[in-house]
Chains A and B, each alone.
Chain A
Amino acid sequence: MSYLEYTVKSTPTGLRKVFYMNWALTVLLMSVAGVGFLMLYSVAGGSFTPWAEPQMKRFALGLAVMMFVAMVPIWFWRNMAVVAYLISIILLISVEFFGTVGMGAQRWIDIGFMRLQPSELMKITLVMLLAAYYDWLPGNKTSRPFWVLIPVIMILFPTFLVLRQPDLGTSILLMAAGGGLMFLAGVHWAYFAAVIAAGVGLVTAVFQSRGTEWQLLKNYQYRRIDTFLDPSSDPLGAGYHITQSKIALGSGGWTGRGFMQGTQSRLNFLPEKHTDFIFTTLAEEFGFVGGFSLLGLYSLIILFCITTALATKDRFSSLVTLGISINFFLFFAVNMSMVMGLAPVVGVPLPMVSYGGSAMLVLMVAFGLVQSAHIHRPRLGS
């Protein structure tokens, strides 16, 4: 079923669309953002500045953006997919030339009121493009090599650009999300088996190439992997982050040390405590109960996305919603694995909680798309 066949009359119009939004999802998003405000307030030592207040403003802006995106019919966004993707590509390329260097990598462009991170934008536009592609592609061609190659190029080109910044975390996320979408679209499983096999080969190659002239990763990336594999090998250097993060998290216990009582974050033992490592502060101050609750909220968001996707008969809507949920899942799964010492430190923020404007705005745009898909889902029998 395609949007051309929508019974347009039966979809809500005008301001009435607000009533047809997925309000449960909106409330969930607000709760998660609320957790974020609380933690940012705490890590600032009980102060709204410098983090909690700007974050609240951004979230308010994000809500407005989400509403706006939600009001626009999903078929408009489908048509915009290619354009959005191209814009993202252009921005990614321009980062090469105009980007601001932050933490040793070119990642954002200063556009006045905020810093735009094109790689964040890319996560959404890639999903949109792939969803539109598979909506357009006849089902019987899905697994044909040529028609498989095209989305692979769509994925690998931006991945390559992001890797050049260099931002290994985001490039892996892009590949994972793109691959996930292809899997959902029904590409034959043999391709994935092949890719996984190749991946294992690549990992071997990455480690084998180390120290040679054609080594595939930067030295600091190798060191991060080393540190991940054995944090105690360098407790005051690169392993410091993981070690301190695990201490903070573990010392939380069942119910935590109390709001604003976390010694690890209050005394600055935690690195990046307001961004990538904010989950450890939550886990330290509110313990297993707090950490598990946030995990529960995230799971509910994923669950709502999946039910929304399965409820709609529109292929683009389903794929976009699921693609966004995969992205969202990857966000928090990688971040939490990282702070719990299950994954190397790759610089992925905790979605909706970590301090940071562009990641949150992009996520709100994404959830706007989910809402739009929900509002404008095809309604039969009228």
Chain B
Amino acid sequence: MKRPPRDVEGAHRKLSRRALLLGGMQAAFIGGLAMRMRYMQVDQADQFRLLAEENRVNIRLIPPTRGEVFDRNGAILGQNIPLYRIIIVREDAGDLDKVIGDLSKLVALDPEDVERARTEMRRSPPFLPITLAERVTWDDISKVAVNAPALPGITPEVGLTRVYPQGPDFAHVLGYVGPVSDYDLSQIDDPEPVLRIPRFQIGKVGVEAKRERQLRGKAGAKRVEVNATGRVMRELDRREGQQGADLQLSVDATLQEYVQARLGNESASAVVIDCETGDLRAISSAPSFDPNLFVRGISVADYRSLTEDPYRPLANKSVQGTYPPGSTFKMITALAALESGIVGPDDTVYCPGYLEVSSRRFHCWKRGGHGRIDLLNSLKRSCDVYYYDVALKVGIDRISAMAQKFGLGVRHDLPMSAVASGLAPNRDWKSRVHGQDWLVGDTANASIGQGFMLASPLQLAVMTARLATGRSVTPRLVKSIDGVEQATGAGETIDVNENNLRKLRRAMFSVSNDRRGTAYGSRIIDDAFRLAGKTGTSQVRNITAAERAAGVIRNADLPWERRDHALFVCFAPYDDPKYAVSVVVEHGGGGSKAAAPVARDIMLQALFGGTPPIEAYPRKDRGRIEAQQERMKRERRPRARTDGKDRA
């Protein structure tokens, strides 16, 4: 079957033509591929190289070690201690159930932790270490280490955690740390990447929070090469971080401990300030709580018992709590009067037991009145009418300005949480905030530290230190950062007549050294350490005319939350003031009974740098004081354990 040759020739030519056509198309396509390759590999090479590096290189943070906190004598307040963990790596473990079973025979494992670890393991690549148990004791860790060959994939690991060896004593000053929460992150504009490390701890309140930047330090970083599943192949390089700075506080741990113990179970607070430097030697608030509970993660029940306690243990009363200063404010009123020149130190006022101010009676605490009285006696015996009288002569604006000069109504900048600014009201303030005119009655109330007037125990201590020295002493809490001494708060001389100040100090001296003084019972016998102070009793309720007629109800007969606050401010020694102390006992009753003895004891403790000799106390009190000292020694709370073996 032969085909005509022409047909064959034609078909072959057609084939050749089409083959060449197809070959041309193929060549064009290959050219296109080459151009695409050139475009990607030459023109876009840098961009793709960058992406490849991003793939390959992972930056791992090295968390910095948090700075530690010491008291002024080097006693440790906030410490990093090793924290032992048990880690499991799934790919090394082999039979997971068997390994965990074997481990639980050695170490008590929390089934909840194990379940959580199992879910975590299911979600993550097999080479990733997962925490099986945290806060493991050293004994358990050694058991794991000894049995390592029988426990494949299980390794003990050591990390750091925060511990507060002084426990509740510094809870309000230092605050505490805790793991970073979503809320914390939302509060920071540009959170450092280190904050996203799981279990990384930051300061939540107090110095820990306010000095977070210094304490935290800077995270280091290492660049590691990882493969597609995230396994680290090798370390490329590392940049060391910077450790957090160590802080030294001005506080004296032994004094603070004493103060906390002396305040006991009252709802009270006390501040001891160094008159020369402004150093806060003690700043405590009672009752307190154990900050270590918060580091570990506090249980709901514990937290509820803290928040529902009517004595508010979580509140930092020494800086956050504001109270009507009561009679402790009278020095300011007196000084404003003397400085104005309207009232002389020897001018007298007649006290019939009340003062009629715009047809309303303002009572003196003493029903019968004090009779004719001058400045020194009015302060010593805390006559109210004298102050109503001079205040009306001087006017609220001068008093308010004087209060601010002495640190009332002014926010002192301390690295503590919720430092309150208090209130030293004037006309302007009332019309601005309340939209009402200032009334003379308001001035009368303010003159004895009632009404709108509010001050924190810290402000009262500062006020007393300023009265004692004539300098605008400012409180200092951080003494040094990483060994670098911080500026002291000695302050400039206040622009008031030194003679007037001397008159007031003399009057304060008589309060606690003159037989008729309101705080005579809380005097110091030692001549070198004479105490000058002022009692205060501030009402938290209005006493109606009817009640006054029927006889004012005694504090002891009132429910706790309606009793008066007891206040006392003092400085000592009288001749050369070293410390100023303020004590506020919430709903404690009269200042001379509830607050003054506490302040005196604290002052003696501070002056002697330890338990004072019994001779410093008035003779008739010595037996009682000795018993009290004995009891406090016995009851000294056990310190928080620092060995990290506290697997709660």
Contacts and interface: CB of A to CB of B under 8 A. Distances in A.
A140 to B, nearest CB: 7
* Listed residue (A247, A292, A326) with the most chain B CB atoms within 10 angstroms of its CB: A247
Interface in A285-316: 287-288, 291-292, 295, 298-299, 302-303, 306, 309-310, 313, 315
Contact of A310 (B7, B14, B19, B225): B19
Interface in A260-281: 263-264, 267-269
A247 B233 CA distance: 20
B225 A254 contact: no
B301 interface: no
Contact of B42 (A186, A254, A299, A333): A254
A309 B19 CA distance: 9
B52 A186 contact: no
B22 A250 contact: no
A281 to B, nearest CB: 13
A253 interface: yes
Interface stretch (B31-39, B84-92, B635-643): B31-39
B27 A246 contact: no
Interface stretch (A88-96, A177-185, A196-204): A177-185
A250 B49 contact: yes
A144 B533 CA distance: 124
A194 interface: no
A244 B37 CA distance: 15
A29 interface: no
B191 interface: no
Determine the main DSSP class of A at the interface with B: helix
A322 interface: yes
A264 B55 contact: yes
Contact of B41 (A180, A252, A268): A252
Nearest to A264: B52
Interface in B21-78: 22-23, 26-27, 29-30, 33-34, 36-38, 40-42, 44-45, 47-49, 51-53, 55-56
Given A288-B41, A310-B19, A253 B11 contact: no
A299 B229 CA distance: 38
Interface string A243-258: 0101111111110000
Contacts of B16: 310
Contacts of B3: 138-139
B307 interface: no
B227 A268 contact: yes
Contacts of B44: 250
A43 interface: no
B227 A306 contact: no
Given A288-B38, A337-B33, A267 B18 contact: no
Nearest to B16: A310
A287 B41 contact: yes
Contacts of A140: 7
Contact of B36 (A302, A313, A315, A342): A342
Given A138-B7, A315-B11, A253 B33 contact: no
Given A249-B48, A252-B45, A283 B23 contact: no
A183 B18 contact: yes
B14 to A, nearest CB: 5
Contacts of A353: none
Contacts, number: 133
B18 A268 contact: no
Contacts of B645: none
Contact of B55 (A247, A303, A336): A247
B401 interface: no
Nearest to A180: B22
Contacts of A340: 33, 36-37, 40
Interface string A131-154: 000000011100000000000000
Contacts of B19: 184, 306, 309-310, 318, 322
B12 interface: yes
Given A268-B228, A291-B41, A299 B30 contact: yes
A295 B23 CA distance: 15
A251 B15 contact: no
Contacts of A342: 33, 36
A313 B40 CA distance: 43
A329 interface: yes
A269 B53 CA distance: 12
B42 A263 contact: no
Contacts of A254: 41-42, 45
Given A253-B42, A267-B227, A313 B12 contact: yes
Contacts of A71: none
B349 interface: no
* Listed residue (B14, B44, B52, B55) with the most chain A CB atoms within 10 angstroms of its CB: B52
Contacts of A288: 37-38, 41-42
B96 interface: no
A195 to B, nearest CB: 16
A184 B228 contact: no
Nearest to B233: A267
A128 interface: no
Contact of A326 (B7, B22, B41, B51): B22
Contacts of A267: 55-56, 225-228, 233
Contacts of A251: 45, 48-49, 51-52
A252 B55 CA distance: 15
B10 interface: yes
Contacts of B8: 1, 139
A183 B22 contact: yes
A319 interface: yes
Contacts of A313: 12
B23 A253 contact: no
A5 B204 CA distance: 99
Nearest to A185: B15
A189 B223 CA distance: 61
B15 A186 contact: yes
Interface of A: 1, 138-140, 180, 183-186, 244, 246-254, 263-264, 267-269, 283, 287-288, 291-292, 295, 298-299, 302-303, 306, 309-310, 313, 315, 318-319, 322, 326, 329, 333, 336-337, 340, 342
Given A184-B22, A264-B55, A340-B40, 15 more contacts: A185-B15, A247-B52, A249-B48, A254-B45, A263-B55, A263-B225, A264-B52, A269-B227, A292-B37, A310-B19, A313-B12, A333-B30, A337-B33, A340-B36, A342-B33
The 8 closest A-B pairs by CB, nearest first: A250-B48, A267-B227, A251-B52, A268-B228, A253-B45, A288-B41, A139-B11, A251-B48
Interface of B: 3, 7-8, 10-12, 14-16, 18-20, 22-23, 26-27, 29-30, 33-34, 36-38, 40-42, 44-45, 47-49, 51-53, 55-56, 225-229, 233
7 contacts: A138-B7, A250-B51, A251-B49, A252-B41, A252-B45, A302-B23, A333-B29
